[in-house]
Structure 1
Amino acid sequence: MGRYFPLVAVAVAIVLPLLTTNTYFHHLLVLWMLFSLLALSLNVIIGYIGELSFGHAAFFGIGAYVAAILGMHTGLPGVVELILAAVIAGAFGFAIGYVALRIVGPQFAILTLGFGSIIYTITNYWVDLTRGPMGISNIQPLSVSGDFLALTGARGYYYVTLFFVVAFAYACYALMSSRTGRAFIATRENAPLASSLGIDVFRMKLLGFVVATAVAGVGGALYAHYLTVVTPDVMSLQYMAALIIMVIVGGRGTIAGPIIGALIYVGLLEALRAVGPMRLVIFAALLTLSVIFLPGGIVSLWKRWFGESEAAPRPAEEGGAS
């Protein structure tokens, strides 16, 4: 059952938009895929290298602003903007990770929080470049070149984001099946022991951090092209908290967990729209209950019901994700 489940899940995901012509349902599907991509990227940091980052939304915002600014000033094709968003977000990730990952313990989380706050402040006040709190609007649709194969509807964006989610999920699966992936897990579980076995702990953490931030940049660029508007709010703590909830509730250190967590978040976001700000309280309660009663996340129920599951990670002993 576990062997064929991913194929069945992808097939169902492909068919979903075809079941209805409701454009709002398609919009929710796009949000699900976008958040799934972001949650999967954050899962590399939290679930695979065992660090807790409070600045991941900043890389998402960097990717979104790169796509928006390049589209506004250069008119580059959307595909090229996706690549540049990944490169620039990854470059910021390398710079931040090179400094922050040398620090052991909760100070890493604090440093990433500070970085996120700095980027958020810059986008708010650098009006000449980012247009400040008003943001950038009328962003061109995603296309191969000019108007060639330009996406105009939610269904098209859904399939594009689904492609990136499936591709990155498979990349995570391949990574975890490789020596590098096993080095990630060894680093997460016991960094001093991993180092004594010849694993370059800092290099493994930096590699995972850069990959995660680059993918977050791609997610931000897709977000900007889809909504055609981007504001500094995409880097707020609300988005950061949402991503952490998706990973923890779904199941960190797994592939299906962040995708399930994103589905739960988008579903509850829509179902609880009438309660307004109280949604944040409900999300916080959901996170608390999950940590207490389901430390392995929703995917841990699979093992209870069917006797098989992706291995749920233990809390990182080096204190980065405690």
Structure 2
Amino acid sequence: MIRKALPFAAALVLALLPLGTQSTYLHHVMVLWMLYALLALSLNVIIGYLGELSFGHAAFFGLGAYASAILTMQTGVPVWLALIAAGLVAGLFGFVIGYVSLRIVGPQFAILTLGFGSIIYTVTNYWDDLTRGPMGINNIPPVTVPGVGPLGEARDYYFVVVACVLAFAYACHALMRSRTGRAFLAVRENAPLAASLGIDVFRTKLLGFVAATVVAGIAGGLYAHYLRVITPELMSLQYMAALIIMVVVGGRGTVVGPILGALIYVVLLEVLRAFGPLRLIVFAALLTGSVIFVPHGLVSLWRPWRRRADPAIRPEPAP
């Protein structure tokens, strides 16, 4: 009974978290946490559920940000429609790159996604007429809630983003208990065996890949309308490395892990901001230590306690 109530309690705590402080700075950090958590959850579908390593996920994040910003500023499309369009644009690119690359297994897939991300970054950086190149786009309109108006405070924006995170987290939870989710895990563990059981491996991978890119595009749109300024750096390897850190350190293949990993990343990012580029060394050490000492992520540390409390829980398999 307690185990079933824990997710609802955690969701309630997240929803009410900004009410515990009046600090605008802390509200800003909370919004960044939720934005990165949504992005990390989307990458977790690819890394944790499909077992593929993508180095181009930040490109879909940037595509969503630019698509939403350009639509709202140049065509006057309402922000909510622009956010949906951002997901569709990122999903369309995800379908194309997934259709081409998901037939390839192993390191070649990661290299292809890295090349795709580099191409999108380069085009965005040099297409001055549309993206304004390295200068980026500023004065992006904020999210407007019908009947409320534009969201001007970080605390108000937090409630919008946390709703998206909770909705997608629940969708991931439900997915893993569905037939499609079991197909994802079967493909991750042993693709040839899954194919012999009648699972369309390519279609399953493509479905998960496109769904992940759609969510990444929406996260990018939310990011653009919150900070109101974007640059091509959103698609850089620095962001991609940060996403991998969030998923791996928190715990890939879980729902809580990427959210926890995003929290650790955002907190360290703020604490180590004064150290400039040297903070990347700390992040690299964190990733290395996590892979060596906690291969299942920080979320796995509480599982021994759960097994002591409930002997029916089976031990976690070795990586």
- Note whether the superposition's TM-score is higher than 0.5: yes
Instruction: Indicate whether 1:121 and 2:127 are aligned.
Output: no
Does the residue aligned with 2:198 lie in a helix, a strand or coil?
A: coil
Show the counterpart of 1:13: 14
Cα distance in 2, alignment partners of residues 250 and 306 from structure 1: 18
Residue 104 of structure 2: aligned partner: 103
1:255 aligns with: 255
Are 2:31 and 2:154, in contact at CA under 8 Å, matched by a contact in 1? yes
Q: Aligned residue for 1:318?
A: none
Matched residue of 1:276: which SS? Answer: helix
Alignment-mate amino acid for residue 294 of structure 1: V
Q: Per-residue deviation at 1:311?
A: 8.7
User: Is it true that 1:164 corresponds to 2:151 in the alignment?
Assistant: no
Query: 1:291 Cα deviation (Å)?
Result: 0.5
Q: Compare 164-173 and 70-79 and name the one that shifted more.
A: 70-79
Instruction: Provide the residue aligned with 1:320 in structure 2.
Output: none
Q: C-alpha displacement at 1:313, in angstroms?
A: 7.8
Note if contact 2:173-2:255 (Cα within 8 Å) is conserved in structure 1. yes
1:112 is aligned to 113
Deviation at 1:124, TM superposition (A): 0.5
Cα shift at 1:312: 6.5
Q: Residue 71 of structure 2 aligns with which residue?
A: 70
Offset from partner CA, 1:35-56 (integer Å, 9 cap, x none): 0000000000000011000000
Residues 263-294 of structure 1: CA deviation (Å, up to 9, x unaligned)? 00001111112221111111010001100111
Equivalence for 1:282: 282
| Mapped contact 2:55–2:113 kept (Cα < 8 A) | yes
Structure 1 residues 63 and 195, CA gap change in structure 2 (3 angstroms): same
**Following superposition of structure 1 onto structure 2, how do residues 1-322 of structure 1 map, counting pairs within 5 Å?**
1-144=2-145, 149-307=149-307
2:211 and 2:46 mapped to 1: Cα distance?
Answer: 9
SS in 2 for 1:3: helix
Q: What is the root-mean-square deviation in Å for CA atoms of aligned residues?
A: 1.6
Distance 1:224 1:101 in 2: 29
Amino acid at match of 2:243: L
The answer as to whether partners of 1:68 and 1:224 remain within 8 angstroms in 2 is yes
Query: Counterparts of 1:139 and 1:33 in 2: how far apart (Å)?
Result: 20
Q: Is the 8 A contact 1:189 1:314 kept in 2?
A: no
AA at the equivalent of 1:213: T
Distance 1:102 1:314 in 2: 28
Verify the 8 A CA contact 1:46 1:253 in the aligned structure 2. Answer: yes
Q: Residue 231 of structure 2 aligns to which amino acid in structure 1?
A: T
Is 2:145–2:151's contact at 8 Å kept on the other side of the alignment?
no
Residue type of the alignment partner of 2:232: P
Distance 2:131 2:42 in 1: 25
Would you say the 8 A contact 1:102–1:202 is kept in 2?
yes
Alpha-carbon distance change, 302 to 208 in structure 1, aligned in 2, over 3 angstroms: same
| Structure 1: unaligned runs, 5 residues or longer | 316-322
Partner SS for 1:140: coil
Q: Is the 8 A contact 2:41 2:255 kept in 1?
A: yes
Q: Is contact 1:254–1:311 with CA below 8 Å preserved after alignment?
A: no
Does the aligned pair in 2 maintain the 1:253–1:313 contact within 8 Å? no
Secondary structure of the residue that 2:22 maps to in structure 1? coil
Q: In the aligned structure 1, how far is the partner of 2:216 from the partner of 2:314?
A: 23
Moved over 4 A (4+): 308-315
Q: Please list every run of 5 or more consecutive structure 2 residues that lacks an aligned counterpart in the other structure.
A: none
Checking the alignment, whether the CA contact within 8 Å between 1:141 and 1:226 is kept in structure 2 is: yes
Contact 1:78 1:144 in 2 (8 A): no
TM-score of the superposed pair, with normalisation by structure 1: 0.95
Does the CA contact (< 8 Å) of 2:54 and 2:113 recur in 1? Answer: yes
Change in 2 beyond 3 A, CA 1:115/1:175: same
Aligned counterparts of 2:47 and 2:314: Cα–Cα separation in 1: 16
TM-score by length of 2: 0.95
